[in-house]
Amino acid sequence: MDFGYNIIKIKTVDLDRIDKSLYNRVVFVAPDINKCIACGSCSASCSVSFYNSNSSFRKALVAIERDDITGIKESLSSCVLCGKCSLVCPRGINTRGVIIAIKDLLKEEAL
């Protein structure tokens, strides 16, 4: 049956074969990310994401889970660390602190 789309091999992600070491390091440094339910409140409240659709805390977490360094950098590069996302988080995650921890980890690891 033809559904009108094809799976592009380059875009597929085999979650069983992903290296989880980066994710584990991020969780060690910022354990709050385990509380995230990906509701999108942070992205909806972000002033920067209104102008830059690549800037998103939620996209950064998905990139971390997929071991996508480029995706992490793209998602967090525009963040101005205003903290609005922390104020609206229903799980009380200090998203600003998590973002700072992730950026510091990327600098330390020279990734």
pLDDT in tens, 51-98: 877 788 889 999 998 888 899 999 998 899 998 999 999 999 999 999
> What is the per-residue pLDDT across 2-53, written as a single tens digit (0 to 9) for each?
888 877 777 677 778 888 888 899 899 889 889 999 898 998 898 888 787 7
CA–CA dist 63, 58 (Å, integer): 9
Listed as own residue / partner, the contacts of 46-50 with beta carbons closer than 8 Å and 24 or more positions apart are 46/84, 46/85, 47/80, 47/82, 47/84, 48/78, 48/79, 48/80
- pTM for this structure? 0.79
Predicted local distance difference test score (pLDDT) of residue 2:
80
SS3 content of the chain, % helix, strand, coil (to 5): 60, 0, 40
SS3 45: helix
CA–CA dist 50, 26 (Å, integer): 27
In the numeric block, the tokens 């992490």 are attached to 72
- Domains of the chain in start order, with CATH, are 18-109 (1.10.1060.10)
Listed as own residue / partner, the contacts of 44-51 with beta carbons closer than 8 Å and 24 or more positions apart are 44/88, 45/84, 45/85, 45/87, 45/88, 46/84, 46/85, 47/80, 47/82, 47/84, 48/78, 48/79, 48/80
